[in-house]
Structure 1
Amino acid sequence: MTQRTLAGILAAPLVLALLVIAATQPLPYVTYEPGLTVDVLGDTDGAEIIQINGQKTYRDDGELRMTTVYVSQPDAKLNLFDVMSDWISREDAVYPYKAVYRPDETTEQSREDGAVEMVSSQDAAIAVALAELGYDVEPALEVLSVSDNAPADGRLKVRDVFRSINGTPVEEPEDIIDTLQATPPGEAVTFEVLRGGEPTTVRVVPTTNEEGNQVVGIRLGTGYVFPFQVSVNIADNIGGPSAGLMFSLGIYDTLTPGSLTDGRIVAGTGTINGAGQVGPIGGIQQKIVAARDAGAELFLVPPDNCADALGSQNGDMRLVRAPTMHSATDSIKAWVDDPDADLPTCKGNA
């Protein structure tokens, strides 16, 4: 037996052991892959995604597609082969774990945060679309989530808009927090809220948390009082704030005659605030790939994502910079009139 053969025989178990470790040892990375796209002008489980009561609506052809990303969950055990597969792909991405999740974040916490962000995103999108159409929209404090088995569970509901607590008008979160802290243990507080536009009275007995604070188990955020009922019926497994722009455009299109896209497919992404400004999102390159595969001809890009968008696999799909909902609406209308129109671009803005 030669020395080279002997070395090969001795090295084989070591190589095998290294392969086993690579296949089983979790690595601190998160993978991004193109997700599904959803036409916000369509329906889900037989119900229209954008639902409006008390105002005339226009259901036309065309699609406005929100885009998503498949992101590995906080408790996913990604091995070397998982990470290398997405790292090699031109359409997937790999990021350090700490760049995406908190060190102690769980999958349940991530989903809860995503659900809260979705509620806030939808409400801001409704407010922006209605303001664009000239309606008056009143900002207010609302319930973004209710913790399971908390004192408020079964009493307060997501999107309840606060009007008063113990008879005192509610304008800031501190109005609720201060009243709760001043409430003797075991005594109830009385909330006056708007639920679906109707005044409702709710009594809740706070509990004392580990820090010694009186709480009822809700998360607060900015909501709005709308002139008529508008809601977005999206699947529970989709969370986060990144569909805000597309929700706003969908609501605008549903409330205006004719098809905003002239029957064609437009996709995009971007958070949106109450002023109509479009903010950055994660996974822009994967969302562009998903939109391309869904047949979109135009994709709306948040300005802060322009640099990454320019390196995406967009094919023939046109990328348009969208700093605001108003700008996005104007760009779509100009493109419908002339597919070669000069539109805001990411070039020079990266």
Structure 2
Amino acid sequence: MPRRTATLLASILMLIALLCAGVLIPVPYAEMSPGPTVNTLGEHNGEPVLQISGRKTYPTSGHLNMTTVRVTGPDYRMNLLEAVYGWLDPDSAVVPHKTLYPEGQTAEQADQQNAEEFSQSQESAKAAALKQLHIPVATQTVVGTVVKGKPADGLLHAGDVIKAVDGQEVRQTGDVAKLVTRHKPGEKVVFTVIPAKEAAAAEKQGKRPEGPGKQVAITTAADGGRAIVGIQAQLDHIFPFPIDVKLADVGGPSAGLMFALGIVDKLTPGGDLTGGTFVAGTGTIDDQGKVGPIGGISMKTIGARDKGAQFFLTPKENCAAAAKDTPSGLRLVKVGSIEDAVQALAKIRKKDLADLPSCTPAGH
């Protein structure tokens, strides 16, 4: 065989071997890419994203789009070729697998966590929006989770309203742990609760659940020398009228800000916060209206610009990272609270952009 032919054949075989290795060798990475973006003022799959009843709403225009990131699943293992392709693709990001999924987390656990965070973000968004509009929102302490196998398992249930512990009224969430830990492990503690079903029925009518409640005695267990019953108490809001978010197949807490702004827009007389402008954004929100950082910011700005957004509401903690590679034609607007966002939208609506808070790269 001529030397040139042999060299060519060897090169081809080497290339085939490398390609096979690239396909077969798994690497500990995951891929992120721009996901769907949905207008919180509009419809999704044929029904309004935000549904408000029992309160007058007002016409809106423009867009207040929440943005998402599409990620490979926790059980998916990339191969070397996919990782290289992702690194070269400007519209995707390849990151260590453990950045997105903690070690040992199953697909079911990841889905459950995302669903819980999404549900909590909706509740916080509703509370923040109504407080922004000076609409009173009542609160109560409820059982958030019950740890399987602990003393409260089967006796208390998620959603039960905790009225008192050992006869002492629970005024804030932290009171529950304080009252339980006054006991020694092995002693009984008595909870006065309104069952979750009764509480949910009252909340649908915008009312605080009434009645004496029922008493539940629980024998405490030891955890690090202190008494526990195995629950996590959390704050629950009682909204004066129903507000529903109809958006399936979305998880995580990062749409909170845009849900809150959509609610504010629909409930503001003569509202129309955007003035017809296409605004997108992201950010967690707490019930006081504080906006927090999120992951995948560059993927979200790309997705927003691809859909036609002109402005992007950006959590201030994400600003430096987002500003490193801002998509052409998209202006990043820095926000730290729902109040910041409403003020920024007023400037956008009036086309008063000279002092609109903008994101800049670190060091600028």
Q: Which residues in structure 2 correspond to 1:205-244 (within 5 Å)?
A: 220-235=233-248, 237-244=249-256
The residue that corresponds to 1:199 in the other structure is 209
Q: Structure 2: which amino acid aligns with 1:191?
A: V
Q: Is the 8 A contact 1:156 1:202 kept in 2?
A: no
When residues 20 and 280 of structure 1 are mapped into structure 2, their CA distance, relative to the original with a 3 A threshold, is same
Q: Quick one: which of 258, 283, 288 aligns to 2:296?
A: 283
The residue that corresponds to 1:84 in the other structure is 84
Secondary structure of 2:298 counterpart = helix
Secondary structure of 1:199 counterpart = coil
Residue 246 in structure 1 maps to residue 247 in structure 2: no
Cα deviations by residue, 1:260-318 (Å, 9 ceiling, x for unpaired): 11222211001112332211111111111111122222110111111221133422122
Q: Is the 8 A contact 2:319 2:359 kept in 1?
A: yes
Aligned-pair CA distance for 1:179: 5.7
Q: Quick one: which of 233, 252, 264 aligns to 2:277?
A: 264
Q: Which residues in structure 2 correspond to 1:105-116 (within 5 Å)?
A: 105-116=105-116
The residue that corresponds to 2:19 in the other structure is 19
Q: Percent identity?
A: 37
The residue that corresponds to 1:175 in the other structure is 176
Supply the distance in 2 between the matched residues of 1:254 and 1:86 (Cα, whole angstroms): 40
Supply the distance in 2 between the matched residues of 1:9 and 1:208 (Cα, whole angstroms): 75
Aligned-pair CA distance for 1:146: 7.8
Q: Structure 1: which amino acid aligns with 2:330?
A: M
Secondary structure of 1:87 counterpart = helix
Cα deviations by residue, 1:90-136 (Å, 9 ceiling, x for unpaired): 12111112222211111211111111111221222122111111123
Q: Structure 2: which amino acid aligns with 1:199?
A: P
Q: Is the 8 A contact 1:120 1:144 kept in 2?
A: no
Supply the distance in 1 between the matched residues of 2:305 and 2:102 (Cα, whole angstroms): 32
Supply the distance in 2 between the matched residues of 1:166 and 1:252 (Cα, whole angstroms): 41
Secondary structure of 2:209 counterpart = strand
Task: Report the number of matched residues.
Answer: 347
Residue 51 in structure 1 maps to residue 54 in structure 2: no
When residues 157 and 253 of structure 1 are mapped into structure 2, their CA distance, relative to the original with a 3 A threshold, is farther
Aligned-pair CA distance for 1:167: 5.8
Q: Which residues in structure 2 correspond to 1:145-156 (within 5 Å)?
A: 156=157
Q: Structure 2: which amino acid aligns with 1:242?
A: S
Q: Which moved more, 1:194-203 or 1:252-261?
A: 194-203
Q: Which moved more, 1:199-208 or 1:139-148?
A: 199-208
Supply the distance in 1 between the matched residues of 2:43 and 2:361 (Cα, whole angstroms): 38
Q: Is the 8 A contact 2:220 2:228 kept in 1?
A: yes
Residue 63 in structure 1 maps to residue 63 in structure 2: yes
Cα deviations by residue, 1:150-208 (Å, 9 ceiling, x for unpaired): 9979x9566x6543467654433672797699999xx9976315322452868989899
Q: Is the 8 A contact 2:146 2:158 kept in 1?
A: yes
When residues 287 and 278 of structure 1 are mapped into structure 2, their CA distance, relative to the original with a 3 A threshold, is same
TM-score normalized by structure 2?
A: 0.80
When residues 167 and 241 of structure 1 are mapped into structure 2, their CA distance, relative to the original with a 3 A threshold, is same
Supply the distance in 2 between the matched residues of 1:119 and 1:163 (Cα, whole angstroms): 24
Q: Structure 2: which amino acid aligns with 1:100?
A: L
Q: Is the 8 A contact 1:30 1:97 kept in 2?
A: yes
Q: Is the 8 A contact 2:311 2:332 kept in 1?
A: yes
The residue that corresponds to 2:343 in the other structure is 330
Q: Is the 8 A contact 2:190 2:215 kept in 1?
A: yes
Q: Structure 2: which amino acid aligns with 1:225?
A: I
Q: Structure 2: which amino acid aligns with 1:332?
A: L
Q: Structure 1: which amino acid aligns with 2:91?
A: E
Aligned-pair CA distance for 1:319: 1.3
Q: Structure 2: which amino acid aligns with 1:239?
A: G
Supply the distance in 1 between the matched residues of 2:217 and 2:106 (Cα, whole angstroms): 29
The residue that corresponds to 2:32 in the other structure is 32
Supply the distance in 2 between the matched residues of 1:80 and 1:62 (Cα, whole angstroms): 43
Supply the distance in 2 between the matched residues of 1:203 and 1:97 (Cα, whole angstroms): 47
Q: Structure 2: which amino acid aligns with 1:244?
A: G
Secondary structure of 2:124 counterpart = helix
Supply the distance in 2 between the matched residues of 1:192 and 1:125 (Cα, whole angstroms): 25
Secondary structure of 1:343 counterpart = coil
Unaligned runs of 5+ in 1: none
When residues 52 and 203 of structure 1 are mapped into structure 2, their CA distance, relative to the original with a 3 A threshold, is farther
Q: Is the 8 A contact 2:324 2:361 kept in 1?
A: no
Q: Is the 8 A contact 1:68 1:287 kept in 2?
A: yes
Unaligned runs of 5+ in 2: none
